[in-house]
Amino acid sequence: MNDTTAATDISSRPAQAGASDLAMLGLAQAAAAISRGEVTSEAYTSALLQQARTQTELNSFISVDEAGVLAAARDADKARAAGSAAPLLGVPFGVKDSYLTKGLATSLGIGGLRHFVPEEDADAVRAIKNAGALVLGKNNLVEMSFGLTGSNGDFGQVKNPHAHDRVTGGSSSGSAASVGAGIVPASLGGDTVGSIRVPASLVGVVGFKPTTGRWPRTGVAPISHTLDTTGAFARSVEDVALLDQVVTGERDRESFKGGRDLTGVRLAYAPRQFLDLVDPEVEARFHESLRQLRHAGAELIEVDLGDDYGALIHSATWGIFFHETMGAVSEFVRRHQIPTTFDEIYQALKPELRDVWGHMVLPGGGGAISQEAYQTALTVSRPEIQRRLDKVFVAQGAAAILQPTTPSTAPLIDQQTNFTIAGKDVTYLALATNTVSASSVGLPGISLPMGLSSDRLPIGLELDAPLRSDRALLGLARRVEAILGARAGTF
């Protein structure tokens, strides 16, 4: 936590008895306990603030609004006494600092904006606050959400709660770390090619990317209007499903229950596409998870998406990603009256990121995507990707496609730019090798913990489902979570 504003002034007063136990309550558990009067919002919030004090080394927050969230907690307790039944009444949550937050500084990960205070909330923040939840603070992130490891030139490196010498993944690095460390029960993040699912996998929490456009995106700093997706981290699928219901208003036709029976459920996996370059321990854990799911009654089918599938999704997705960034960022700062310009943001980037933007994002860059290539990605490549996926979902009846979320566990911080996977030298972009598939056409995807490596680092399992099948995916994920038994915080 960086003491960049008055909101970051966390005192060192001792925690109340039982604070660590309170802090480990999940979102739904905390909401229920506060609603029943078993714990006050003030006591729960104080426990979370104590967790924040003791885990400042993680650098998961840019700012924590201690005074504001405690005052809001007391107000929530008064509201509860007066009969309020808001579904998230009195429960604090974290917010990636790419989301506008009314009255709280919003930096977008850029040091020059550390004192910018919006006059409005992003739509997703407003929806959760309207349900009674409280903003504890703003989570650290990669500058402009442009990175996959968690390094920020102005606000510092976010560290993995499981091993402080390891990255968290990015770009929603602080959001994942704060949930994994028990500082907040849930946090909002953003995902364009994997920025929720990658850190969820590396930190060992649940990370949910809804169908693109299903959650509101207004008020969140963009990268690509075609690919950007807002979403969330939590410690269980139950908690993510509760947030999804609050944000979208969508309820299940049947009660949302877990269970360990997958009889009649068909699940697909594509080893030629998603296991081509994977660390042996990750692959072994994935196959063990498949065995557990088969034992629970699931029908596992092996599919092949084509020799060129990897090249197709990466060229199309990254081409759209880079081509849309300049226009998306420029429009965002203008529309929301943010006191900066695209050029000022570009100049403020850390050198290595500025080089990437200069090469790929600026129109005159050597790697800039032409308008013709961009249109081909939108009108030819994406429909072809969707056609191949529809063969799995529609023709073959699969409820989801499974793969390791990331091909390796968290790399060392001092090797985050270049490291090895299965003995092969790779760059940090390899962390999104599998997540980019769902991003390419906007599928809903969720990363679940599926165990630990021999050196006690989390390994994630991703489930991708058909477009707009989000609630069915969450129901399936809850059953998979119960079967694998590898929930966050229980390793």
Of 96, 138, 159, 209, the active-site residue reads 96
Of 107, 171, 381, 408, the active-site residue reads 171
The token pair at 284 is: 């072994």
Beta carbons of 26 and 238 less than 8 angstroms apart: yes
* 96 in catalytic set: yes
* 315 in catalytic set: no
- Identify the DSSP state of 183: S
**Residue 3, burial from CB neighbour count under 10 angstroms (0-12, 13-18, 19+):** exposed
The token pair at 110 is: 């850029």
Of 60, 63, 187, 195, the active-site residue reads 195
Q: What is the phi-psi region of residue 150: left when phi exceeds 0, alpha when psi lies from -120 to 50, beta otherwise?
A: left
Residue with tokens 């650098």: 59
* 195 in catalytic set: yes
Beta carbons of 87 and 247 less than 8 angstroms apart: no
The token pair at 314 is: 């990466």
- Please, what's the b/e burial string for 142-151 (b: 16 or more CB within 10 A of its CB; e: otherwise)? bbbbbbbbbb
The token pair at 217 is: 């995106």
Beta carbons of 273 and 310 less than 8 angstroms apart: yes
Q: What is the phi-psi region of residue 214: left when phi exceeds 0, alpha when psi lies from -120 to 50, beta otherwise?
A: alpha
Peptide bond into 171 cis (omega under 30): yes
Secondary structure class of 464 (helix, strand, coil): strand
Distance CA 468, CA 432 (A): 22
Catalytic (active-site) positions? 96, 171, 195
